[in-house]
Amino acid sequence: MTSKALFIFFFIVLITTSGWGQTKNSEKVKSGYYLVIGAYSKNNKQLAEIYAKQITEKGHEALVDFFPKKNYHFVYLKYYEDFNTSIRGLYQYRKIEDFPDCWVYVMRQSEVIDKARDKQVASLNDMFASRFSTSQKENTQENDSKKDENNENSDVASKKAVEERVVLESNIAASTTDKKNALEEKADIKSTTSSLYISLFDARTQVEVNGKIDVIDGVNLAKLSSVEGNTLLNFEDPENGTGNLIFISNVFGFKRKQLEFNYYEPLDNEEMEYVTNIGDTIIINFELQRYSIGEFMVMHNVYFFKDAAIMKPDSKYELNQLLQMMKENELMKIRIHGHTNGNVPGVIILHDPELKNYFSLEKGVNEITGSAKKLSGYRAKIIQQYLIDNGISASRMETKAWGGKSMIHDKHDSQAKKNVRVEIEFLVK
């Protein structure tokens, strides 16, 4: 063969293996989370690329890759390395008209290894290669015969399946029936769901926020537990006959939000816009709203010693959250409202300003007598002083004393202790 012929030969090989002129494919399939919008059988890569091109022309970059475990070419919009980010992406893309049924495929590391091994085996091209293939586990003639029969049936099924995939609903001969069948595999995954992930995030910034969720029995409205958000959870059967649960967010700086969920029929929950799924995990999305100007936020976890304008140590966490919120929002101004349980005057225990003992009665305290209104005012001011000592300008804060004029329960009620509270009013955000 002449040098010119060799050059032509290698040039043709380069063209056929590089994919010139085709829709963009990713360079390498990695383990992680793929935001999928369509799937095509192994023999229909061209259709997958046509669909990806249509999506790209609409302004969304779409990629095509073959996933050996599922034996499909997936058309996908995004690749994510971590679970939490994929939740954000799924939730946002489902709001777009073209992608209401997009879903996340979880590709495990083992699948990447299997694909690489199969490729290496195929390159050997000898009579012993098949015994190492990840798609063949037995070498006996009987099993080979069964495998041939199964492969033949699989080819027929794959040919039929491609007509039923989600992508066919987008200008490639879609129908309502096709769409329903296209999601069949996805439904099978959801039917094995055993985990629940409660996602808490800021509705405006889409940034994850930390906080707790109160779990309430949906029938008798009793509190069952309080769990951390943004973690994988397993709930026990509420045994209330219906399986109905209520989740209430408890995140400092954000309005409380209540969402419903059914324990016995988790698949039905996906009809609700705040429920999605990734693999075998159901995700409940708490899209949280910050307080607006003129609204009030109760500091539920700030506690005071009896008859004292001194806080208990376990108040530090929520107090520091308020501090952090004001540091992050430099224009924010607040009014701190103090409330007591009733209006009976008495002894008032104050801290020593020089010692800054905000959380202890052990040293440096002063006692005076005064009204309940005066006590509530001192309590509001000690919070203000704590914030000042930690870098917040006094000009950004006001205080107001109420005493027992604005109680939420009768002072003899079993819930009367909730009358003793501090509220934050937002003046400027």
Encode the chain (429 residues) as per-residue pLDDT tens digits.
555 555 455 444 444 444 433 445 545 678 888 999 998 988 999 999 999 999 999 999 999 999 888 888 999 999 998 887 888 788 888 888 888 888 888 887 655 544 444 444 343 333 333 333 333 333 444 445 444 555 545 444 444 444 444 333 333 333 344 444 434 443 333 333 357 889 999 888 888 888 999 999 999 999 999 999 988 888 788 889 898 999 999 898 899 999 998 888 876 655 677 887 776 788 899 999 989 899 999 998 999 999 999 999 999 989 999 999 899 889 999 999 999 999 999 999 999 888 888 999 988 899 999 999 999 999 999 999 999 999 999 999 999 999 999 999 998 899 999 999 999 999 986
pLDDT for residue 25? 54
Categorise residue 280: left if φ over 0, alpha if ψ from -120 to 50, beta otherwise.
alpha
Closest C-alpha to 329, from 205, 212, 230: 205
Same domain? For 313 and 282 the reply is no
Task: Report the Cα–Cα distance between both ends of the chain, in Å, rounded.
Answer: 78
Residues 150 and 213 in one domain: no
**Do 338 and 269 share a structural domain?**
no
Cβ atoms within 10 Å, residue 391: 9
Note whether 242 and 322 are same-domain residues.
Answer: no
pTM of the complete model: 0.56
> Does a structural domain hold residue 366?
yes
Classify residue 12: in a domain, yes or no.
no
Are 79 and 94 within one domain?
yes
pLDDT at res. 175 = 35
Domain membership flag for residue 305: yes
Statement to judge: residues 28 and 142 lie in one domain: yes
Residue 384 located in a structural domain: yes
Q: Which CATH number does the domain housing residue 74 bear?
A: 3.30.70.1070
**The predicted structure's pLDDT at residue 95:** 83
In one-letter notation, the amino acid at residue 239 is E
Residue 268's pLDDT is: 66
- Give the domain extent around 368: 296-428
Using a 10 angstrom Cβ sphere, with 0-12 exposed, 13-18 middle and 19 or more buried, the burial of residue 311 is: buried
Is residue 263 located within the same domain as residue 309? no
pLDDT for position 20: 39
**Cα gap 238→199, rounded to integer Å:** 21
215 three-state secondary structure = strand
Exposed/middle/buried for residue 278 (C-beta within 10 Å: 0-12, 13-18, 19+):
buried
> From the centroid of its chain, how far is CA 348?
46
Is the residue at 300 inside a domain?
yes
Residue with tokens 């800054």: 356
Q: Long-range contacts of range 227-233, CB-CB < 8 Å, 24 or more positions apart?
A: 227/198, 229/198, 229/199, 229/200, 229/286, 230/84, 230/197, 230/198, 230/199, 230/200, 231/197, 231/198, 232/195, 232/196, 232/197, 232/281, 233/195, 233/196, 233/197, 233/198
Residue 350 contacts residue 414 (beta carbons within 8 Å) = no
Closest C-alpha among 330, 331, 312, 324 to residue 422: 312
Phi/psi zone of residue 228: left (φ > 0), alpha (ψ -120 to 50 degrees), beta? Answer: beta
Same domain, 124 and 268: no
Partner residues linked to 199 by β-bridges: 285
Same domain, 316 and 276: no
At residue 114, what is the residue type?
D
CA separation for the pair 305, 311 (Å, rounded) = 6
What is the distance of C-alpha 177 from the center of its chain?
Answer: 31
Closest CA to 67 of 29, 121, 24: 29
| 175 within domain boundaries | yes
Domain boundary among 124, 157, 190: 190
Of 128, 156, 190, which marks where a domain is finished? Answer: 190
For residues 51 and 247, give the distance between their C-alpha atoms in angstroms, rounded to a whole number.
Answer: 40
Scanning 165-283, the segments in alpha helix (DSSP H) are 176-182, 184-190
Q: The domain that contains 322 carries what CATH number? A: 3.30.1330.60
Domains: count for the chain? 3
Give CA–CA dist 242/282, Å, rounded: 19
DSSP letter (8 states) at residue 272? S
> What's the pLDDT at 269?
56
And the tokens for 403? 């005493």
In-domain check, residue 16: no
Tallying the residues shown for the chain, one arrives at 429
Q: What is the CATH number of the domain that holds 235?
A: 2.60.40.1120
User: What pLDDT sits at residue 160?
Assistant: 43
Element (H, E) at 428: strand 421-428
Same domain, 320 and 412: yes
Residues 35 and 180 placed together within one structural domain of the fold: yes
Cβ contact 106:83 at 8 Å: no
Residues 168 and 306 in one domain: no
Q: Final residue of a domain: which of 288, 308, 328?
A: 288
Flag whether 281 is in a domain: yes
The half-sphere exposure of 2 on its side-chain side, counting CA atoms within 13 A, is 3
What are the structure tokens assigned to 385, written together?
């002083």
pLDDT reported for residue 377: 97
